[in-house]
C-alpha cells in the first residue's frame, strides 16, 4: 500500500490583505499547512472566516504576530516548531510603503520603512532557519520592481527593496551549503492595500502641496494610483509562489508579471541621464 506524501508546511507574513492573504489561502487550498501572520484580531477573525468559507480551515492557521517585535517572533517560532518537525518554506511578504521626497521624509518614517521591510525579514529568517535547514527548504522574499529601479517620491520604499535584494543575494550563497534555496519575487503594480495605506500616510505631506514639491507629489500620486488600479491581479503572485515551491531548481528571481521586464530592460540599457530625462518627462517635473 502506497503512503501519502508528507505534509508540506510554510510560514508566510503579512496576510491581512494583498499578496500575503491571497497566497496563504491559495497554498492552503493546495493542501499545504500554512501559518499565516496578521497584526490584529480583526484580521485574524477575517482570515479564519475566509478559510472556513473556502473549506481550507484544516490547513490554514492564522497567527497574530508583529514581525518587528522580537518577542512575538520568538513566540511564533515556538508555536510553529511545536506543531511541525520541518518547515518547507518561509515567505517574507509583510511590507509597507512610506512615500516622500528625500528632503521631506521624516527620519522616523525612514527608520520604520527599513524596520518593517528589511530588519524584520532578517529576524524572521534567523528565527526559522533551523527548521528550514532540517527540511532543506526555500525562503521566498517578496521584493518589488522598485528594488530594481527607483523613482521620485518612492525613494524610501525603493531603498528598502534594494536592501532586501542585496540581502537575498548574500543569503542565497550563504545558505546553498545547507541546501536552503533563496528566491526573490519582484511584483509590479497591483491593486493591493499597501498603496492605499501609503496615500493615507502621505497626508502629512499636504502642508507641502503649495510649495515647490507640490506638482511632483500630485503627479506621483496620480501615477501610482493609476498603475495600482490597472495593475495585475494578486493571484498571479500566489501562482508564482506555487510554481517556485513546485520546482526542484527554481529561478533566483521572478518578475511578476513578466511584462515588467520591458521597463527593467530600458533602465539597464539607458544612461542615468537619459533615464532621468524620461522619468522627468513622464512626471512633468
Dist. CA 263–CA 257, nearest whole Å: 12
Nearest CA among 230, 256, 262 for reference residue 241: 256
Edge-to-edge strand ranges of the sheet holding 33-38: 60-64, 33-38, 9-12, 89-92, 138-142, 181-187, 253-256
The catalytic position among 157, 162, 213, 254 is 157
| Architecture in CATH for domain 9-283 | 3-Layer(aba) Sandwich (3.40)
CA distance 65 to 260: 32
User: What is the full per-residue pLDDT of the chain (285 aa) written as tens digits?
Assistant: 456 678 999 999 999 999 999 999 999 999 999 999 999 999 999 999 999 999 999 999 999 999 999 999 999 999 999 999 899 999 999 999 999 999 999 999 999 999 999 999 999 999 999 999 999 999 999 999 999 999 999 999 999 999 999 999 999 999 999 999 999 999 998 766 555 666 667 678 888 899 999 999 999 888 888 877 778 899 999 999 999 999 999 999 999 988 877 888 888 899 999 999 999 999 999
- pTM confidence score: 0.93
138 closest CA partner among 257, 221, 228, 248: 248
CA 27 – CA 9 distance, rounded (Å):
10
Say if CB 124 and CB 73 are below 8 A apart. Answer: yes
Phi, psi of 157 (to 5 degrees): -65, -45
Q: What is the DSSP-derived secondary structure letter of residue 115?
A: I
Is 143 strand, coil or helix?
A: coil
Indicate if 157 belongs to the active site: yes
**Cα radius of gyration rounded to whole Å, the chain:** 19
Helices (H), the chain: 18-29, 41-53, 70-83, 107-114, 120-135, 155-176, 193-201, 214-229, 235-246, 261-269, 272-283
**Half-sphere exposure (CA, 13 Å, Cβ side) for 201?**
21
> What are the Cα distances from residue 225, in Å, to 73, 107, 284?
33, 25, 17
Which residues are 64's β-sheet partners?
A: 38
CA atoms within 13 A on the CB side of 178: 19
Amino acid at each position: 500500500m502506497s503512503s501519502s506524501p508528507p505534509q508540506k508546511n510554510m510560514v508566510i507574513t503579512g496576510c491581512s490583505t494583498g499578496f500575503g492573504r491571497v497566497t496563504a489561502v491559495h497554498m492552503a487550498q493546495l493542501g499545504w499547512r500554512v501559518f499565516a501572520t496578521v497584526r490584529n484580531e480583526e484580521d485574524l477573525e477575517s482570515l479564519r472566516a475566509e478559510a472556513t468559507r473556502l473549506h481550507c480551515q484544516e490547513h490554514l492557521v492564522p497567527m497574530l504576530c508583529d514581525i518587528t517585535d522580537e518577542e512575538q517572533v520568538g513566540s511564533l517560532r515556538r508555536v510553529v516548531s511545536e506543531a511541525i518537525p520541518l518547515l518547507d518554506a518561509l515567505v517574507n511578504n509583510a511590507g509597507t510603503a512610506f512615500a516622500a521626497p528625500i528632503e521631506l521624509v521624516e527620519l522616523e518614517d525612514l527608520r520604520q520603512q527599513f524596520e518593517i521591510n528589511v530588519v524584520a525579514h532578517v529576524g524572521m529568517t534567523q528565527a526559522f532557519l533551523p527548521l528550514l535547514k532540517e527540511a532543506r527548504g526555500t525562503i521566498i522574499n517578496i521584493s518589488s520592481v522598485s528594488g530594481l529601479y527607483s523613482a521620485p517620491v518612492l525613494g524610501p520604499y525603493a531603498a528598502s527593496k534594494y536592501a532586501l535584494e542585496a540581502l537575498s543575494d548574500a543569503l542565497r550563497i550563504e545558505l546553498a551549503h545547507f541546501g536552503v534555496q533563496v528566491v526573490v519575487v519582484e511584483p509590479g503594480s497591483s491593486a493591493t492595500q499597501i498603496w492605499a495605506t501609503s496615500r493615507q500616510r502621505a497626508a502629512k505631506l499636504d502642508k507641502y502641496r503649495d510649495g515647490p514639491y507640490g506638482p511632483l507629489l500630485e503627479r506621483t500620486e496620480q501615477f501610482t494610483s493609476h498603475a495600482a488600479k490597472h495593475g495585475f491581479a494578486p493571484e498571479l503572485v500566489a501562482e508564482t509562489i506555487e510554481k517556485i515551491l513546485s520546482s526542484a531548481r527554481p529561478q533566483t528571481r521572478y518578475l511578476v508579471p513578466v511584462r515588467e521586464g520591458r521597463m527593467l530592460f530600458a533602465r539597464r540599457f539607458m544612461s542615468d541621464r537619459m533615464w532621468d530625462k524620461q522619468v522627468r518627462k513622464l512626471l512633468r517635473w
